[in-house]
Amino acid sequence: MGSHPIDLTTIFGCGFVMHMKKLTLIIVLALFDGIAMQSQTHTTNETPIVLITSIESDGIVGMELLNNFWDKSEDEVLVAYPNCKFYKGLLKGKYERKENLIIPSNGALITIYTNEQIFSRESFLSEGQFSIGDEFFIGKNKSKIIANQKGELILKIE
């Protein structure tokens, strides 16, 4: 007994097969669109951001676009980022977006406005605790302080 391919057109009719092909194409396009939207690279002269800093480790745990950040209530932000403080800043250079988070590329500059805390609590960042040349990580990216002026820390992603 030989193997014969099943002809779905004879069983279900031509309309069913065309419908299935369209459905498959829609699913493939939706999956591709979802993957493409996961990570996008952008270049900017100056983008307002929010730096999310850990109270416990004194490190930057993430960055979001300021406009996206304002769309959330204070309660939503504090639940999403417990034990964190939030500072306004600027990003210059290339970066990627993964969901709401910003991932700066090598060479990008980040300015942290240490005197512009959002949902202000006690002071966290002070110019005296950082020196030019200090290195630390922002997520997985290494950064170096290149300027420390009154109310501003400027970092370069390496």
Distance CA 53, CA 30 (A): 35
Please report the pLDDT score of residue 37 as a whole number.
Answer: 44
Domain ranges of the chain: 8-38, 41-157
Do 56 and 13 form a contact (C-beta atoms < 8 A)? no
Please report the pLDDT score of residue 148 as a whole number.
Answer: 87
Q: What is the mean pLDDT of residues 122-146?
A: 76
pTM above 0.85, yes or no: no
For CA atoms 58, 60, 62, 67, the dihedral sign is positive
Q: What is the mean pLDDT of residues 131-151?
A: 84
pLDDT tens-place string over residues 96-121: 888 888 889 999 999 999 888 887 66
Q: Which residue has the tokens 């110019």?
A: 127
Cα 39 to its chain centre, rounded Å, is 9
pLDDT of 36 higher than 70? no
